Structure 1
Amino acid sequence: MSTLSCIVCTFAYLIILFAIVGIPLIVYYAQDPKDPTFTLEHASVNGFNLTSDGHLTSFFNIVLKANNPSRKMKLKYSKVRVSIYKDKQILAKDALDDFAQRKHAVTMLRPEPVALDLSLDKGPRFNLELESGMGYISFGVFMTSDLNGDNLEVTCSPVFLNITISNSLVASSPADAVNTSHKFQSMDCNVYVYSDDD
């Protein structure tokens, strides 16, 4: 076999090897997701009290699952805030400690937002009075954070909780808001990551 033939065969072999190994690796890393995903795993409320003059006291318990799907990037969260809202009014807030996620890791967040004698706006007051009279309440969960120097917003809505015994609420899935099922079904949250330059 001539030297030229050997060079051609070697070159052809390298092209085939690249097609078999190199291209899938490039696609694998090019498609590596960078943004986290979030699900709401649990929601409940204790000490729910809505007074006749529209003041709310509630102790919320929330479990958010943060998933870092990236195989290459570590995520660093800071200034983490979780809020409960109803018709654009913030009902309760909680701040969480900074944390980091390794590549391809899951972290469970357990904020406990509290509303203490909060004066409700007209819309939220009317809707909470109406819903609680029907045996449930609904609200949204909103989380903000700095994420690797960018801004993170997470929205989980709507969340429905059934009223089971006087002023005590048990979590239920959105589909079961007005029936007797009390098992909370995990729900996907909307995630928005943006820089200050956007």
Structure 2
Amino acid sequence: MTDTTRIAVLVGSLRADSLNRKLAELLRDEAPAGVELDIVEGLGELPFYNEDLDAASAPAAAVALRERVSGADRVLAVTPEYNGTMPAVLNNAIDWLSRPYGAGALVGKPFGVVGATPTPYGGKWAHADTVRSAGIAGAVVVEEVTVSQSAIEVDPTTDADVRAKLVAAVTTLAEFAPAVSAA
């Protein structure tokens, strides 16, 4: 048994120099003691979800994604906002993780979302769509983790207050204990 909490990180931007990728890397590098952030690569290699592709044997990229998330204790999406919603690459990853229905890799996993955008609202619509989709897929959404940071007047990668808020969100996700239901 390990004392390390593993958090799979889904980055909603494919751009190598993405602000949100930089935030994910920063969070990985500044993770609290006992917390390991695993940035899941290869989301751009996933074909659009299609049940026909998922029938007999799923594509290798989907299998790898499911294995990485299944092996994690928690899931964190770090994402920008595209046209008022979550990026297609993140939506597609959640679609793959939601299957098989009721038993997908997200089922029962504590889930949070953070990110920054150069808009006044910091991506709050994308983040709301992400938590809704993940919740429908079976994740246990940890609302107090959500951080939607505007990057208009501040650089989230260097501002001490923003960095502290993001690290606190990771800590909250790592320490989250789902309520045990009485059967």
Tell me the TM-score normalized by structure 2. 0.26
Between Structure 1 and Structure 2, the one with more strand by share is 1
Between Structure 1 and Structure 2, the one with more helix by share is 2
Tell me the TM-score normalized by structure 1. 0.25
Larger radius of gyration: 1
